[in-house]
């Protein structure tokens, strides 16, 4: 009953697909350089790199073009992998890049961009990363928005924090009017949405074979004056970190 009222409000506010999260903010720019800095691109030269959650492969292809010896792009969506393979051929890097749903190739560097709020089983992903990472390698992560960010609901954030104000039932019903993947929970939307918070991320790392070498919480620009330990869940735009194997002594610090 109440979910029905919420659904009608949502339909009134946003009658169709809000078309958020298109990635157009990076159009004409290197997402890798913007999020992780030029140093990352220098670091991957001659290395075997895994792009965990590669989507359509733009970053994997860029790493191949920028001198990575081997790039494996991993994703669970075959439609995206297919597009990535086509793009690699167009870019002439098909011999350097492999796009697949799984790999056994050990990596010097594992990059994961905008994925940790999507992985259905982040702990399992960290275990896989730990198994694939060479002993002196590093995992370089950038993701967000996290769940309590004003737009942490991604497409469900019809307005800031809408995903926290409306019920999952109403939001999913509203989404089903323009998406046809049959999702009945946030976690079932194509590509996943796991309601990741900064605290949850820290906890999942604590129980993993990897440890934090560095972590940076980039504040939402307009809220930077309010950004701090107590407010970080609501005021952080991007979580960036470097992870190394627990037994590793390599600091693996990357300054953006
Ligand atoms: C927001 S997209 C980011 C794609 C790309 N890294 C980028 O920055 O444009 C998140 C990606 O993670 C993928 N994904 C979700 N769960 C995954 C998993 N367990 N293993 C690999 N990829 C996964 C999704 O299919 C989706 O392509």
Confirm or reject: Cβ of 119 under 6 Å from ligand 1. yes
The whole-number pLDDT of residue 255 equals: 42
**Segments in the chain below pLDDT 50:** 253-256
Query: Which among 41, 43, 25, 22 has a CA at the least distance from the CA of 33?
Result: 41
Confirm or reject: Cβ of 114 under 6 Å from ligand 1. yes
The whole-number pLDDT of residue 18 equals: 77
Give the chain's length: 256
CA of 247 to the centre of ligand 1 (A): 28
The whole-number pLDDT of residue 78 equals: 96
**Candidate from 53, 72, 80 with most ligand 1 atoms within 8 A of CB, to mutate:** 53
242 class by beta-carbon count within 10 Å (0-12 exposed, 13-18 middle, 19+ buried):
buried
The whole-number pLDDT of residue 190 equals: 85
Looking at ligand 1, which residue's alpha carbon is closest to its atom 10?
A: 115
Instruction: List the beta bridge partners of residue 70.
Output: 48
φ, ψ dihedrals at 188, nearest 5°: -95, -5
CA of 207 to the centre of ligand 1 (A): 22
């Amino acid at each position: 009953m109440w979910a029905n009222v919420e659904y009608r409000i949502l339909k009134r506010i946003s009658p169709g697909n809000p078309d958020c999260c298109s990635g157009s903010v990076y159009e004409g720019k290197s997402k890798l350089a913007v999020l992780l800095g030029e140093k990352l691109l220098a670091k991957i030269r001659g290395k075997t790199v895994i792009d965990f959650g590669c989507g359509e492969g733009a970053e994997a292809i860029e790493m191949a073009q920028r001198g990575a010896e081997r790039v494996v792009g991993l994703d669970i969506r075959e439609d995206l992998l297919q597009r990535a393979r086509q793009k690699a051929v167009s870019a002439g890097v098909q011999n350097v890049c492999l796009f697949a749903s799984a790999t056994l190739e050990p990596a010097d560097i594992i990059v994961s961009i905008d994925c940790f709020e999507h992985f259905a089983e982040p702990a399992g992903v960290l275990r896989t990363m730990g198994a694939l990472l060479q002993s002196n390698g590093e995992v370089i992560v950038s993701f967000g928005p996290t769940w309590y960010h004003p737009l942490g609901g991604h497409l469900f954030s019809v307005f800031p924090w809408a995903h926290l104000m409306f019920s999952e039932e109403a939001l999913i019903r509203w989404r089903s009017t323009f998406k046809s993947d049959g999702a009945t929970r946030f976690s079932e939307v194509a590509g996943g949405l796991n309601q990741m918070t900064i605290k949850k991320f820290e906890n999942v790392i604590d129980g993993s074979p990897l440890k934090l070498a560095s972590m940076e919480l980039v504040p939402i620009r307009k809220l930077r004056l309010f950004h701090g330990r107590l407010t970080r869940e609501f005021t952080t735009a991007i979580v960036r970190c470097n992870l190394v194997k627990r037994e590793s002594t390599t600091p693996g610090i990357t300054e953006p």
